[in-house]
Amino acid sequence: MELMESLINLGLNDKEAKVYLALLPLEKATAYTVAVRSGLKKPTAYVVLDTLVGKGFVLKIPGSDKHLFMAKSPKECVAAARQRLSTAEDALPELMALRKKGEEKANVSYFEGFDGIREMYTRLVTDMKGRPIGDRSFVAFYAHQKHTPDFLRDYWLELNETYREAGIRRKAITTLDPSIRQYLEEETKRRFGMDLRPLPESEYASNVSIEIYGDRVQIVSHRGIQGVLIEHQDIADVMRQIFALVWKTTEVTNEGNESQEHLNG
């Protein structure tokens, strides 16, 4: 078993390792002999032998009647493996550069319907739960609910409870509108673990919610019941910067008074 594992570590699969070990004690052998010694069928042994020739573990000796095969020295095979590894290491900087170029491209996913929306938030919750309890937070721009279907309103309430149970906290900016009256109430905000600041509808009114967490930005259309998830660190970082700028312009006390006057009016 140790010999098999050693050969597998050199890049062979189980059948290739069996064939090489069967051929190694022999000076030269036919595919039939190798098949018998390895326990493989002759067609399979022949295919595997040709593969081992390509990998540099076996030499093929043409004959007028039958081809013969000879195993290369294990030292030679190990030396060749070291050379391949050295070649790969030499190319590592260029390979890493290609990886970096790939990472610079944003990964964009589209989601349709209620099932798609739920999948987006399942990803968000899973990401948050994978973090230390003190690091489970994200920022958001939340929409009003003028055109939000009832089933989606119910789902937001369910999701809020999921956040609460998981210790997920949010800072969010929203639209000052009676359709989100309960979210603007202090008791509700505390229960949901949310620091919510509304802006006058004349300045910010949206049917779309935007949430930024980790290296992801998700955009959800309440009216269209669809969403887009963008995975890109730079995009997420700049969206957080935009959120921070807007957050600084809000004045909690004045907004609280304005929201109460608006809702009571």
Domains of the chain and any CATH numbers: 2-72 (1.10.10.10), 106-264 (3.30.870.10)
- Per-residue pLDDT for 157 more than 60? yes
Question: Measured between alpha carbons, how far is 238 from 168 in angstroms, rounded to an integer?
Answer: 22
Is residue 35 helix, strand or coil?
A: helix
First vs last C-alpha separation in the chain: 82
- Per-residue pLDDT for 35 more than 80? yes
Query: Quick check: 185 and 111 in contact, CB under 8 A?
Result: no
Query: Quick check: 196 and 163 in contact, CB under 8 A?
Result: no
Work out the pLDDT band at 81, boundaries 50, 70, 90. Answer: confident
Percent of the residues in the chain that have a pLDDT greater than 70, as a whole number:
91
Residue whose tokens read 């907004």: 255
Q: What is the pLDDT of residues 116-147, one digit of tens each?
A: 999 999 999 999 999 998 899 999 999 998 88
**Stretch among 13-22, 80-89, 160-169 having the lowest mean pLDDT:** 80-89
Residue whose tokens read 């050969």: 7
